[in-house]
């Protein structure tokens, strides 16, 4: 749609200009403290990249002086981006020096602001349809990519004031996009097709999964984790005190109904809602590719959230499609996407007397991470140095726990491993792959050979095969799998295959307290949205 800007769009554009200036000012204000340990040459490039734009640079045609200024800013940003990539890739991520993380945050935000200026979002263009970037949606998506990259890599190291300004800028950008008719009439047709496809689904996790969980998987639990229903601080403390009389250390407990009052309990199972809080799925998130992070083919990349959501829904409804397993794992999505953070409540159990007197905590603040993905994703057997309340918001997960007191040798910890040229200590992760040696329905030893196929059959009885069809072939495959598992067990003969563990299935609204140091294995039994609280 052509035409000049309306008064409301002019207001949005004014907001964008003002916010962009405030962000640059905030970056310049905090740079001396954040970047003090970096060489002066880097500080000089940073000052050039963060400089204010001359007022006349937003007027067309630009003067030669303004063009030269914009070119110097762009050159500084490009140089700093390359430097940040080199430095961050030289370390395991947890060991990247804080000044380089903060430099990376500044540079990617400044890059987004520069692209915003260059894309003419803030100009009163008479005929916007003449600009190809509006037709292909490229400027918006590249601006979002740079901002999300800054938020993802910077994480909790980003100061609250800068994060607040960036979130306000994103909101103003969305408003300007709608008011200038950028997203509806000129949106990328592939994006529109994807959005329409997602909105055909009423649920992220199909209701039919409950029947499968109740009839197949719950009966196969081996040693259920003790349960505390609808916990409050007094009931939780009383329960834990009673258990401490029997054991000298904190024990796990399955907290049923913990999160049923969260807004997320009602909204996160809606694909349309998840689209709405991620700007029609165009927010960018980090994703793992592969069933678990110890798989040989495992890798990582950035993807649009809508693209992931589409794949997860399609993969569940069409199980014959061989899509790679993708998993948004251990990412602070709720810090990156503000509306999602408003949908949860911090479990008040974290402030109970039980934890106030403990000596195991290694964190000064609660670390919140999200885990979103399809059925079949696995967090291999591992241990963490934090107490953890794991909350299942959407879908179902199987969890198996081994006590921290178990001999480490029996858990077969992995050692130092080379990942993309960097030595990484994997000693907190077991070399044992439970799914290759454990028996039972939860590990594939059942007539239900494929969870997603089973759900689609339950969903549409007309697709059900005749009883006993392929029965001989089915049991031949089952026998072969059993023999393979027995052989795998022999490789790890000291592992506690059949004892000293507890397990449970987390249903929507459930929580699970996992004490620090306990080994845990987690498997998604359906599409799943989980939040963990390390404290």
At residue 472, the pLDDT reads 61
Q: What is the pLDDT of residues 76-122, one digit of tens each?
A: 999 999 999 998 888 878 789 999 999 999 999 999 998 887 665 34
Backbone angles phi, psi at 51, to 5 degrees: -65, 155
**pLDDT confidence of 462, banded at 50, 70, 90?**
very low
List the one residue out of 428, 424, 403 whose CA is nearest residue 414: 428
At residue 153, the pLDDT reads 95
Q: What is the pLDDT of residues 211-270, one digit of tens each?
A: 999 999 999 999 999 999 999 999 999 999 998 888 889 999 999 999 999 999 999 999
* pLDDT for residue 61 is more than 60: no
The tokens of 521 are what?
């294995």
**pLDDT confidence of 454, banded at 50, 70, 90?**
very low
Q: Is 324 helix (H, G, I), strand (E, B) or coil?
A: coil
* pLDDT for residue 287 is more than 50: yes
At residue 14, the pLDDT reads 67
**Average pLDDT, integer, range 431-443:** 94
* pLDDT for residue 491 is more than 90: yes
**pLDDT confidence of 54, banded at 50, 70, 90?**
low
Q: What percent of the chain has a predicted confidence (pLDDT) above 90?
A: 63
* pLDDT for residue 50 is more than 90: yes
Q: What is the pLDDT of residues 120-135, one digit of tens each?
A: 534 433 333 333 333 3
DSSP tag of 497: S
Q: Is 435 helix (H, G, I), strand (E, B) or coil?
A: helix
Q: Any idea which of 115-124, 156-165, 196-205, 328-337 has the lowest mean pLDDT?
A: 115-124
Long-range Cβ contacts of 216-219 (<8 Å, 24+ apart): 216/441, 216/446, 216/448, 216/454, 217/396, 217/398, 217/441, 217/442, 217/505, 217/525, 218/505, 219/441
The tokens of 441 are what?
């329905």
**Average pLDDT, integer, range 126-152:** 65
At residue 164, the pLDDT reads 94
At residue 479, the pLDDT reads 83
* pLDDT for residue 333 is more than 70: yes
**Residue 183: partners with Cβ closer than 8 Å, 6 or more residues away:** 137, 140, 177, 280
Give the β-pairing of 378-382 and 367-373. Answer: unpaired
Backbone angles phi, psi at 202, to 5 degrees: -85, -25
Q: What is the pLDDT of residues 165-175, one digit of tens each?
A: 999 999 888 88
Question: Cα separations (Å) of 403 from 22, 199, 390, 442, 518?
Answer: 51, 43, 17, 21, 5
**pLDDT confidence of 48, banded at 50, 70, 90?**
very high
At residue 361, the pLDDT reads 56
List the one residue out of 294, 522, 514 whose CA is nearest residue 414: 294
DSSP tag of 349: G
* Distance in angstroms between the alpha carbons of the first and the last residue of the chain: 51
Q: What is the pLDDT of residues 101-111, one digit of tens each?
A: 999 999 999 99
Contact 304, 273 (CB under 8 A): no
Q: What is the pLDDT of residues 289-316, one digit of tens each?
A: 987 888 877 889 999 999 999 999 988 7
**pLDDT confidence of 179, banded at 50, 70, 90?**
low
**pLDDT confidence of 139, banded at 50, 70, 90?**
low
Q: Is 330 helix (H, G, I), strand (E, B) or coil?
A: strand
């Amino acid at each position: 749609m052509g035409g000049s800007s309306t008064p409301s769009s002019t207001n949005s554009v004014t907001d964008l200009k003002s916010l962009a200036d405030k962000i640059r000012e905030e970056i310049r204000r905090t740079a001396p403290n954040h970047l003090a340990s970096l060489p002066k040459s880097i500080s000089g490039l940073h000052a050039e990249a963060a400089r204010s734009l001359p007022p006349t640079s937003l007027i067309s045609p630009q003067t030669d002086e303004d063009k030269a200024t914009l070119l110097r800013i762009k050159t500084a940003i490009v140089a700093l981006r390359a430097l940040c990539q080199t430095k961050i890739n030289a370390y395991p991520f947890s060991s990247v020096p804080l000044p380089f993380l903060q430099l990376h945050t500044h540079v990617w935000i400044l890059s987004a602001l520069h692209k915003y200026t260059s894309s003419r979002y803030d100009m009163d263009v008479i005929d916007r349809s003449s600009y190809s970037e509006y037709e292909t949606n490229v400027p918006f998506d590249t601006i979002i990519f740079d901002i999300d990259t800054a938020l993802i890599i910077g994480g909790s190291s980003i100061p609250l004031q800068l994060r607040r300004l960036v979130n306000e800028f994103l909101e103003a950008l969305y408003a300007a996009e709608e008011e200038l008719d950028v997203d509806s009439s000129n949106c990328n047709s592939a994006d529109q097709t994807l959005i329409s496809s997602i909105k055909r689904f009423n649920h992220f996790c199909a209701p039919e999964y409950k029947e499968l969980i109740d009839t197949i998987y719950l009966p196969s639990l081996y040693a259920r984790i003790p349960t505390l229903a609808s916990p409050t601080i007094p009931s939780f403390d009383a329960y834990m005190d009673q258990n401490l009389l029997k054991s000298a250390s904190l024990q796990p407990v399955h907290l049923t109904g913990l999160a049923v009052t969260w807004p997320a309990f009602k909204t996160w199972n809606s694909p349309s809602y998840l689209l709405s809080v991620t700007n029609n799925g165009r927010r960018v998130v980090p994703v793992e590719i592969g069933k678990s992070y110890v798989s040989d083919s495992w890798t990582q990349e950035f993807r649009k959230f809508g693209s992931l959501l589409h794949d997860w829904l399609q993969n569940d409804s069409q199980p014959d499609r061989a899509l790679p397993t993708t998993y948004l794992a251990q990412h602070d999505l709720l810090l990156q996407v503000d509306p999602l953070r408003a949908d949860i409540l911090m479990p008040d159990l974290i402030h109970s007397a039980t934890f106030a007197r403990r000596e195991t905590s290694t964190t000064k603040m609660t670390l919140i991470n999200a885990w979103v993905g399809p059925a079949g994703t696995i967090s291999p057997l591992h241990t963490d140095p934090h107490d953890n309340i794991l909350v299942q918001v959407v879908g179902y997960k199987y969890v198996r726990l081994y006590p921290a007191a178990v001999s480490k040798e029996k858990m077969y910890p992995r050692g130092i491993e080379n990942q993309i040229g960097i030595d990484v200590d994997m000693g907190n992760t077991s070399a044992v792959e439970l799914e290759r040696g454990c028996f039972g329905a939860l590990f594939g030893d059942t007539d239900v050979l494929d969870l997603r196929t089973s759900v689609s059959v339950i969903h549409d009885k007309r697709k059900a095969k005749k009883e006993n069809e392929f029965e001989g072939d089915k049991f031949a495959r089952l026998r072969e799998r059993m023999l393979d598992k027995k052989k795998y067990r022999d490789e790890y003969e000291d592992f506690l295959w059949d004892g000293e563990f507890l397990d449970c299935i987390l249903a929507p609204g459930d929580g699970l307290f996992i004490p620090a140091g306990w080994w845990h294995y987690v498997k998604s039994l359906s599409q799943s949205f989980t939040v963990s609280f390390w404290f």
